[in-house]
Amino acid sequence: MKFELDPLPYAKNALVPHITEETLDFHYGKHHQAYMTNLKGLLEGKPEANQTLEEVIKGASGGVFNNAAQVWNHTFYWNGIKPNGGGEPTGDLKAAIERDFGSFASFREQFVKICVTQFGSGWGWLVEEGGKLSLMQTSNADLPMKHGQKALLTCDVWEHAYYIDYRNLRQKYVETYVDKLANWDFALANLKG
């Protein structure tokens, strides 16, 4: 079967002090790997094993959807953060955020709020649909592509994403994500792609 976990786009210690190597050992090495292992087992010997991950997600439900979407969501999340990231975006992305949210400060406030108020496990997303940027929350494995939206950036707010480093301080984790980790170049590439 062709599905394999993509390597992280940086060393496991590259996000310190904001996300520790211990968190990545568990989050990437255990949780993300488990979704991939489960997905491979669920697809073994089935025609879907020859599809792309996106094709599987669009046509799946139940356990296949949950595992496939979580593989996609996590891969997207890893690419959406980087060492020395965060701060304000520049260029076309900054202009689009200012157009649709009024200012970067307003975007930051709203993004933090949707991530912090996501009840239980899930994701906070910056998305594009019909030429307009907006924010969305999804629970569990749900993701924008199931709703006809293009994902630009996501913050994982499942507890395993932050609990080792931030304990129950989800807001501090999300603020750190925006201020120190967000990969705006990745978000811009998704906007233009």
Task: Output the domain CATH number for residue 102.
Answer: 3.55.40.20
**Do 109 and 41 fall within a single domain?**
no
Note the pLDDT of residue 102. 98
Mean predicted confidence (pLDDT) in 28-51: 97
**Do 95 and 66 fall within a single domain?**
no
**Do 58 and 122 fall within a single domain?**
no
**Do 52 and 113 fall within a single domain?**
no
Q: What confidence tier does 2 reach under pLDDT thresholds 50, 70, 90?
A: confident
Q: What confidence tier does 59 reach under pLDDT thresholds 50, 70, 90?
A: very high
Overall number of domains in the chain: 2
**Domain coverage including residue 142:** 91-192
Given a cut of 80, whether residue 32 has pLDDT beyond it is: yes
Mean pLDDT of the chain: 97
Mean predicted confidence (pLDDT) in 105-121: 98
Given a cut of 70, whether residue 1 has pLDDT beyond it is: no
Q: pLDDT of 154-165, one tens digit each?
A: 999 999 999 999
Mean predicted confidence (pLDDT) in 6-27: 98
DSSP code at position 54? H
Q: What is the CATH number of the domain that holds 70?
A: 1.10.287.990
CB 157 within 8 A of CB 124: yes
Q: Which ranges of the chain does DSSP label H, i.e. alpha helix?
A: 21-26, 33-43, 53-59, 62-79, 91-101, 104-116, 163-166, 170-176, 184-192
CB 35 within 8 A of CB 67: yes
**Do 95 and 187 fall within a single domain?**
yes
**Do 97 and 181 fall within a single domain?**
yes
